[in-house]
Copies of this chain bind each other. A is one copy, B any other.
Amino acid sequence: MIEDKNQKRTPLSELGEFGLIEHLTKNFKTEQPSSLKGIGDDAAVIDFKDKKTVVSTDLLIEGVHFDLSYVPLKHLGYKAVMVNLSDIYAMNALPTQITVSIAISNRFPLEALEELYEGIALASKLYKVDVIGGDTTTSNKGLTISITALGIADEEEIVYRNGANPGDLLVVTGDVGGAYLGLQVLEREKEVFKVNPNNQPDLSLYTYIIERQLKPESRKDIPPLLKQLEVKPTAMIDISDGLSSEIMHLCKQSNVGCNVYEDKIPLDPQVISTCEEFDINSTTVALSGGEDYELLFTIAQADFPKIKANPHLTIIGHMTEEKEGIHLISRANTKIPLKAQGWNPLKN
């Protein structure tokens, strides 16, 4: 539904591999003082000085992680960067560089790749990371994006998944469930479009949740906010697969249990109204939705006054002894064992 039939189509083969890489990356200038050498050699060279380096990598596959019938390529490029930066922020670190590898079938014209790179460039600029390398190649089918993000932190600032203690408070940034619901709306409009291609969908009721799906932001504001509040989380993870799945990761790696309070989970009003419209349970969406790219962390109870009433942070539960298990305390005050129903890319 977003396709422009009159677009210019330059075949990729016209440029060849090196010409293509040069064309797509010529505007990537390195801005980070640590980037000594960017694109154009066998490897990039970085000077991390006395900082520790954090490294994370993600693979996005067409038809598995995204559907090009409703994801504009520019947004896809932007989101692919966000997915990776989110992992760096989840270490309480600052992203500095990324490498970007793309495999693309010849059905895509050069202009499509340019759009994708525009989104990558925009994200890099806004989040101040340098694109320092990558690979561009053909695929037999579809589009694959592989990004590796590098970042820096002082050793004492780094937050792992395994430091939560019984009694710690469980905190989530922003709100959850929106990205998943945005996807449901887009999927529905796709079906409508198949039946009636001339239908102009009115998406004005869903702007927030669609933006959460198509153009998520990662929480670059959180590590500096925590520093300013003088709070160091005891454990942290980003929410990519769904709140319940991430809670279970924190619990498992920290050897603790957890009580999560259903009525504390932060939901946007659009999430609530759209859940009603779709007749689905908003707690299920919040727990299992995924792709919110919010941060989930634990803090010592003593830090409670520091974060209290901060509009970005919501306390949704507390950690317990491991043997007590992981539970959702429902609005009706019943204790329900939490299950990881996050997205499983292998079950298709």
Q: Which residues of A contact B (CB under 8 A)?
A: 12-13, 15-17, 20, 36-37, 40-48, 52-59, 61-65, 87-88, 90-91, 93, 97, 99, 101-103, 106, 132-135, 137-142, 144, 146, 148-151, 153, 155, 158, 160-162, 236-238, 253, 344-348
Contacts and interface: CB of A to CB of B under 8 A. Distances in A.
The count of identical subunits is 2
11 contacts: A37-B160, A41-B253, A43-B91, A45-B54, A46-B53, A58-B101, A59-B102, A59-B103, A65-B137, A103-B144, A138-B348
The 8 closest A-B pairs by CB, nearest first: A43-B56, A146-B146, A42-B90, A43-B54, A42-B87, A148-B148, A59-B101, A57-B99
B65 A346 contact: no
A57 B137 contact: no
Contact of A15 (B43, B139, B346): B346
A146 B144 CA distance: 10
A20 B106 CA distance: 32
Contacts of A132: 55
Contacts of A238: 42
A13 B139 CA distance: 25
A193 B49 CA distance: 56
A331 to B, nearest CB: 29
A187 B151 CA distance: 43
Interface hub of A20, A41, A93 (most chain B Cβ within 10 A): A41
Contact of A42 (B91, B148, B155): B91
Contacts of A20: 346
Contacts of A151: 43
Nearest to A139: B61
A11 to B, nearest CB: 9
Given A141-B141, A160-B41, A237-B42, A106 B57 contact: no
A164 to B, nearest CB: 13
A99 B133 contact: no
